[in-house]
Amino acid sequence: MLSVADIHVEYGRTPALMGPSLRVDAGEIVSIIGRNGVGKTTLLKAIIGLLRVTSGTIRLDGEDLSRLPAHERARRGLGYVPQGRMIFAGLSVEEHLLIGADLNRANGRALLEEVLEEFPRLRERYRQRGDTLSGGEQQMLALGRALVGGPKVLLLDEPSEGIQPSIVQEIEAKIASISRARGLAIVLVEQNIELAVALARRIYVMEKGRIAREIAPEHVMDEDIVRDYLAV
């Protein structure tokens, strides 16, 4: 589905990504873990087209998207939930979802209805301003905004960040059911190892702009083993 090969990104003249490669198949959840500042967000932004790659390829169903602008990549099926959620000040829940649905004119309305079924809380708060939602509700809204665009691949940047444990469990259940129900490919960036282990089939460990290790399915179930990989 999505395959990223040997991409390079610089901030000014400082290299930020030095050739990470990864892939995710339809219906599969893979996780990217790594310490603060190793380039996880940079990697997602490069995939989605918010940062320019100087070399390497980003393929979706075989088509190289790496030279396309972000909105074209979104139209072709890349969905993104940014770190910190990026809810627009002053816009209602409805307006956020309509912006997302606009990407998918053909069946945006049907997808909107699906998302409201999936997240009843968003329906209850449909007219409320997004920036007055709780942190957990904002995360649901950010997920909903991405889903109404009808993505094939969903990139999630630390959905558990700053959210209390009971809501993290709710978000975990939503991510699992979204992946199952829609056969979506999901790339989950997480510092919460518990969440990564609970959801991912494979885990990539990122270090200083590179994917340093890949943890195979037979080891990803074990939180201690995963923590050891991270400590290497």
Least distance (Å) between residue 124 CB and ligand ATP: 31
125 binds, among Mg ion, ligand ATP, none (CB under 5 to 8 A by kind): none
Site string for Mg ion, 78-107 (x = CB under 5 A): -----x------------------------
Site string for ligand ATP, 53-92 (x = CB under 6 A): ------------------------------x---------
> Is 11 near ligand ATP (CB under 6 A)?
yes
Instruction: Output the CA torsion 117→194→85→127 (10° steps).
Output: 30
> Is 39 near ligand ATP (CB under 6 A)?
yes
Residue 179, helix vs strand vs coil: helix
Among 22, 24, 41, 184, binds Mg ion (CB under 5 A): 41
CB-wise, 36 or 166, nearer to ligand ATP?
36
Q: Which residue, 29, 12, 30, is CA-closest to 20? A: 30
Residue 89, helix vs strand vs coil: coil
Residue 207 tokens, joined: 């270090």
How many residues touch Mg ion (CB under 5 A)?
A: 3
Measured CA to CA, the distance from residue 231 to residue 35 in angstroms comes to 10
> Is 199 near ligand ATP (CB under 6 A)?
no
> Is 4 near ligand ATP (CB under 6 A)?
no
Which residues contribute to the site for ligand ATP (CB under 6 A)? 11, 16, 34, 36-42, 83, 191
Which residues contribute to the site for Mg ion (CB under 5 A)? 40-41, 83
